[in-house]
Amino acid sequence: MSYTILTIYAPEDFADILKAELSMTGFSIFLDLENGAFETSIESHLFDRQSTEEIISRYSGGADIRMEIREEERQNWNQVWEESYPPVVVDDRCIVRAEFHAPIMNSRGEPYPYDLLITPKMSFGTGHHETTAQMLAFILDLDCRNKKVADFGCGTGILAILALKRGAIEADACDVEDWSVESSAENAQLNGVQMRTYVGTAAECGRPESYYDLIFANINLSVLLAEMPIYARLLAKGGRLLLSGFYVSDIPAIQADCEQQGLVLERQSDKNNWAALQFKKE
């Protein structure tokens, strides 16, 4: 049996939506490459070239998107995917791995304090990206005990899951993509924690003012700036807001907007030009 292999070269902002569109035509396994590029496969007799080209052309008007097609004989694509998804270690305190990874010890030969099982599917948030890794590092340093948490733009739900494992008593996780919300719910069950998940935005959370002690938002710059007043309204006095998904050059704009909402910068980090910020509501 032969497979049709697509290699898609696209900006990172378009990768997830392209994966979602392609999944509707029968593609199921996605191998991330660099800078938003990815590979996916389908049995050749199921490949609809016209539908695939229509998807690519639909988004090519707003971005530089290219597609390469090749044929290969059958191979174990699940194994290929697994080999491309190594575990991620954060500060020697937390490991993010999939179910197919065997338990791994830390540098002292001991279990990691926090062992997160995350099945990404099409959702963002495995710890491999610089933004997620920095947010996880921030959460590891926060006192999450008895805190109410919101993870807006949750992806895999990884941030809320870590907070719950660190003692948070309640967590809401939302995303505008239904497959991300489904992934978050599955990952929560996989990690033995409970959280409320829903499809929507921060504005649709249904929680009263000053409800959350901790809010996480790892989203793109335009969404963060648009939703900042909502985050500030939902955050309790003394609460922390953790933000990422933007570049170092965007820090002044984020900081100015947060200060207008009464939020004070406490901490910042950067990795490969991606930034993360932690604010406190005075």
Residue type, 159: L
Position 158 scores a pLDDT of: 96
Topology adopted by domain 128-281: Rossmann fold (3.40.50)
Residue 199: is its pLDDT beyond 70? yes
Higher-pLDDT residue of 6 and 84 is 6
The predicted model gives 26-43 an average pLDDT of 81
Residues 6+ apart with CB under 8 A from 176: 153, 199, 200, 201
Position 58 scores a pLDDT of: 87
**Dist CA 156 CA 160 (whole Å):** 9
Position 217 scores a pLDDT of: 97
Residues 6+ apart with CB under 8 A from 162: 94, 114, 116, 136, 139, 140
Return the bridge partners of 67, or none: 8
Show me where the domains of the chain are located: 2-82, 128-281
- Please tell me whether the overall predicted TM-score, pTM, comes out greater than 0.85 for this model: no
CATH superfamily of 2-82: Reverse transcriptase/Diguanylate cyclase domain (3.30.70.270)
Q: Which of 79-93, 95-109, 146-160, 240-254 has the lowest mean pLDDT?
A: 79-93
